[in-house]
A = this chain, B = another copy of it.
């Protein structure tokens, strides 16, 4: 693997583990066992590294977010879809950990990140609309709009919030709880007779309650 790629890979890992602010160019060079001078030969400091990492994240995230807008998800795919979003966020969690401060220091990323969030809202709105149109839930336009915004907020901040409360990092259990926190909001809107949907919800909830506080092995 080329040095230039290794720098990206290990930088991401270091940023996620230690927090971007706590990682210096010299730290990165040390982990890679190259000299700082060599690092600067490939990237002129942390800025261009972070920029490239964001570009990678943006590309992946855009692709995932576009899916439910382009083509409605199957009912049972919604769960999986939220898991994927949370995993994606976990992979680049250093961005979220100190979002404002990173966007302040790298102004060219701010607008791009904002567009991602707006796309996220649209993706959520699509999902909710599909559930409504296919008759699983019954929800007004205003409430659907509110819910889409709320979903986007929860997706963005849930992992951070969990870290704040539990002190730890994203585990499968906390992601599972995050997904449940999202979809359980649909419960009061489920239409009479949509048993398939209600069963999925209940099953999901029980699995979560059963596993809360336990190890993570038998989830997912």
Hey, which chain B residues are within 8 Å of A205, CB to CB?
142
Contacts A19-B101, A188-B188, A188-B189 supplied; 14 other A-B pairs, CB < 8 Å? A21-B101, A22-B104, A100-B163, A103-B164, A114-B164, A143-B188, A146-B181, A146-B184, A150-B150, A150-B154, A150-B181, A150-B185, A153-B153, A153-B154
Q: Are B164 and A157 in contact (CB under 8 A)?
A: no
| A residues 162-185 in Cβ contact with B at 8 Å | 163-165, 167, 180-181, 184-185
Q: Are A113 and B188 in contact (CB under 8 A)?
A: no
Give the B-binding residues of A (Cβ under 8 A).
19, 21-22, 97-101, 103-104, 110, 113-114, 117-118, 142-143, 146, 149-150, 153-154, 156-158, 160-161, 163-165, 167, 180-181, 184-185, 187-189, 205
Hey, which chain B residues are within 8 Å of A165, CB to CB?
114, 117-118
A54 → chain B closest CB, angstroms: 15
Which 3 pairs from chain A and chain B are nearest by CB? A188-B188, A157-B157, A98-B101
Interface SS of chain A = helix
Q: Are A153 and B143 in contact (CB under 8 A)?
A: no
A158 (CB) vs chain B CBs: closest residue: B153
A160 to B167 alpha-carbon distance, docked (Å):
21
Hey, which chain B residues are within 8 Å of A157, CB to CB?
153, 156-157, 160-161
A19 → chain B closest CB, angstroms: 6
Hey, which chain B residues are within 8 Å of A156, CB to CB?
157, 161
Q: Are B97 and A164 in contact (CB under 8 A)?
A: no
Q: Provide a sorted-by-A list of 12 A–B residue pairs whose CB atoms are within 8 angstroms.
A: A98-B98, A99-B164, A100-B163, A114-B165, A142-B205, A143-B184, A143-B188, A150-B150, A153-B153, A153-B158, A157-B160, A185-B185
